Amino acid sequence: MEAIASLQHLKPSLLHHHPPQKNQSKNFTTNFSLANVAEIPPSETPSPSASLQSPPFNPFSNSNLSSFQDFTELNSLAAVKMKHAQIIKLSKKSASGDKIQSLILSYLEFQDFHSAALLFVMDFAQNYLYWNYFLDEFKSFRGDLREILEVFDELYKKGVNFDSRNLALLLKICSNSMDLWLGVEVHAYLIKKGLDLDVHIKCALMNFYGRCWGAESANKAFYEASPDHDESLLWNEAILVNLRNEKWVQGVQFFGEMKHSFLKTNSFVVAKVLQACAKLGAVDQGKQIHGYVIRNSLDSKMLICNSLINMYMKCNEPELARMVFDSMEDRDLSSWNSMIGGYGSLGYLNEACRLFGDMEGSNIRPDIITWNCLLSGHFVCGLNQEVLSILRKMQIAGYKPNSGSISSALQAISELGFLSFRKEIHCFVIRNDLDYDLHVGTSLLDMYVKNDDLTSARTVFDNMKSRNIIAWNCVISGYVFRGLFEEAHNLLDQMEEDGHRPDLVTYNILVSGYSVSGCIKEALAMISQIKISGLTPNVVSWTALISGCTQNGYYKDAIKYFIEMQKEGIKPNSTTLSSLLRACAGLSLLQKGKEVHCNSIKNAFLQDVFVNTALIDMYSKCGSLKSAYEVFQTIQNKTLASWNSMIGGFAMYSLGKDAISLFQEIQCGNIRPDAITFTALLSGCRNSGLISEGWKYFDSMKMDHGIMPTIEHYSCMVDLLGKAGYLDEAWDLIQKMPMEPDATVWGAFLSSCRIYKNLELGEIAAEELFKLEPRNAANYVLLMNLYSVLNRWKDVDRIRELMEVNCVKVGHVWSWILINQTVHIFSAVGKAHPDEGEIHFELYHLISEMKNLGYVPATERVYQNIDIMEKEKMLLSHTEKLAITYGLIHTKDSSPIRVIKNTRTCSDCHTVAKYISLLRRRDIFLKDGLRFHHFSEGKCSCNDFW
């Protein structure tokens, strides 16, 4: 009694939570011994450590009990007990196993779980496989596994001594009922009695600790095992325990160590380890296990072959998977489905469809899983129309779509945005009672959210019988990305009332929504809320914040938060670096962009298409077109975005012919240009004055490529024609546009009218601009410049008065240059640069040298009614001249000078920059607005067309 005293106190606590029924019979005492019990729970495949194989049928099923018909007349618990008493009085011979099984089933049906458990323990405990089936039946009748523990407690009080096999069974029940502390006490009793050396006990302990305390505790039990044990049994158990706990690496390592110890395993364990390799993408380890399979003649096992196929497909080795498939003498439906599903997920749709057709010739009829593999494969490849076509063929073939089929279809319709299909498939879901499926309901919700139909999404959500965290997050995201933050927070409160705690995805949705909307403070507050809630902001959280800052032009903040992210120890992903590169491009920070490029190399993101495209854009906008082109050339599989970015880079530098050359390369390949391609291409033609080429590609958009020109394309053409002096043609194009011209069109036209002093058309353009953008100072300034060129100073004063009436103020004009990681800003107003005296002294010397070479100040570009001398002084104060001169003073002779200006440079500054590049033998890159001027040897890349 004292030996097992540690278990006595458990019964009161068990009875407190689960009191037994008062009418249960407790008059059964007999001598018995418990059999070896495997660690696998009832519903799982039998343990590979066991020598027995699972019976093909459940011995406790009504249909499998030949004597069950004798018990059908028992209509009460009392009648069952009377029948039991009769069996006890009869000889042991007549008390057959079938009758005892029927009796146990009857007790279960009348909810007398205690009697059922006691009877089973006395008569069937010696066969561990019967335990699996008994526990299935026990739980199917809603019996509590703790009642079986009470049976052990009762038997102990009747004087039964538990040996190691008895306690192995007890550990199994502890594992299934998740009774953590009872299992620990059983372990303590085993150690005290020296019973923990039995190999079956060790397996049961490993199983218990693995299920209740985690893989690390189970591994400790394994390492404490005696070397005299049946090591194969223990190693198999250690592998399975780790794999069940998703410790894939540890499980594979255990298998490798077991092989090195020359111990053999069985096909079940090998299949499980192959599945772990698939999870890890560990193809090299998978190949080694394949070799082990061949050496040990396990390649005839269908279970292993199917696992090999799955592993190779998950590791992107379809050829090896096909070799395994072709080598199989016998294939089941699972083999075919694994191949078709694998081909589909990897984008080999022709092979998947061909294999689907071959099934018929192999006398294998596809099932719903086969069809779903085709559906998901086509969806993954973006062939959404084909998904709907396959769904129809599937129904014609006599298969009724299930939740998996409908989920793929809903995702495809979500991408297509077809309103009629949305309603049609929703009706199908309701008619076939699939709306109660949580996965289908969530897919419906996602479809409506993605198609901006919040009303329907909310209706689906409100009618969902059960909601998981995914459903809550989906509907919250719908409100967040519509900017309806109050409604989103109301849903968040309801979510918590419903018993769902917000997870990291929930918070990240809010961070992203606030960031995209420009509410950076609120997004930052959500980052803090993540920490307060006990979670840790991850790379998605920080990337959402950085990306939102970049999209809204808060480039400095984006860089600042990236630095904070690094301090938190978060490693950036490709999206983070792409957003950061866009921030560097927005600020024209070439050195910072180079640092991000190094970070990309360090983190092996150079093959990422988004990072490469962002690098091209960054280098182009930071004045290093050569570096942009070098990145472009290194991309092996160029996407359309890469081509568009490079064409745009050439356009930015007025290299229209180079842009056309790249476009011709696209046409020779298999990439189809889009509207963005033509915007970049026409910009190149505009910036280089290529009129005939511009018309050619503008006309080909609709005729040759089926792309309707947008307002951006018309704006490029109006600017191209106007800058070339073809104002009448530009005016005609504006009149013939199929859409109303916007401010970009009228602004380009007014700028051209100023250049060619066309007052009549200029005033028309200005009038339209004042209607569209009444507070844009640039439009008023353009018109005043036109009046001043024509010496119409009264009109200049009139426009200035109009600006005052409309409260329109001219923004500050500035230029800046980066020297030794310090930004030096030169502004037309405000505090002067501290080295202004030195700068003007050097600039005067430069102007004197230029005049000796024929330079004449373009005083006509000073749009003020003052004398010539004053105009020359004003030209010297232009910010880009000051920045370039400062760069000459404080940079090495060989390095290029890079200056950024926030407005269009004037013709005089453009001429001065050409002279400086010639006199000082320095390359100068001047960015004004959205284009670059590269000055070298007295010439500019724009060929004076800007």
C-alpha R_g of the chain: 39
Residue type, 444: L
> According to the model, what pLDDT value does residue 232 have?
80
> According to the model, what pLDDT value does residue 124 have?
60
| Cα torsion angle, 551, 557, 558, 564, sign | negative
Q: 632 is written with which tokens?
A: 């472009």
> According to the model, what pLDDT value does residue 860 have?
76
Q: Are 247 and 215 in contact (CB under 8 A)?
A: yes
Q: Which of 851, 688, 861, 693 is nearest to 785 (CA)?
A: 861
Strands 924-928 and 931-936: what pairing? antiparallel
Strand ranges for 58-200 from DSSP E: none
How far from the centroid of its chain's Cα atoms is residue 142's Cα? 41
* Maximum pairwise Cα distance, the chain: 132
Residue type, 686: R
Q: Mean pLDDT in each 10-residue stretch from start to end of the chain (946 residues)? A: 32 32 33 26 35 44 52 74 78 62 82 80 59 72 74 70 66 71 70 67 79 77 62 82 85 85 85 92 91 86 92 92 91 92 89 89 88 91 87 90 88 79 83 82 88 89 88 93 92 89 94 94 94 93 95 93 93 94 92 92 85 94 93 89 95 94 89 93 94 96 93 96 95 95 95 93 95 92 90 91 88 87 86 89 93 88 80 89 94 88 89 94 88 91 82
Q: How far apart are CA 170 and CA 30, in angstroms?
A: 18
pTM: 0.68
**Residue 931: strand pairing partners:** 928
Q: How far apart are CA 478 and CA 639, in angstroms?
A: 30
- Half-sphere exposure of 134 toward its Cβ, with a 13 Å CA cutoff? 27
Q: How far apart are CA 940 and CA 654, in angstroms?
A: 9
Q: 465 is written with which tokens?
A: 């019988």
- Half-sphere exposure of 268 toward its Cβ, with a 13 Å CA cutoff? 16
Q: How far apart are CA 11 and CA 159, in angstroms?
A: 16
> According to the model, what pLDDT value does residue 165 have?
64
Q: Are 272 and 243 in contact (CB under 8 A)?
A: yes
Cβ of 704: how many Cβ atoms within 10 Å? 11
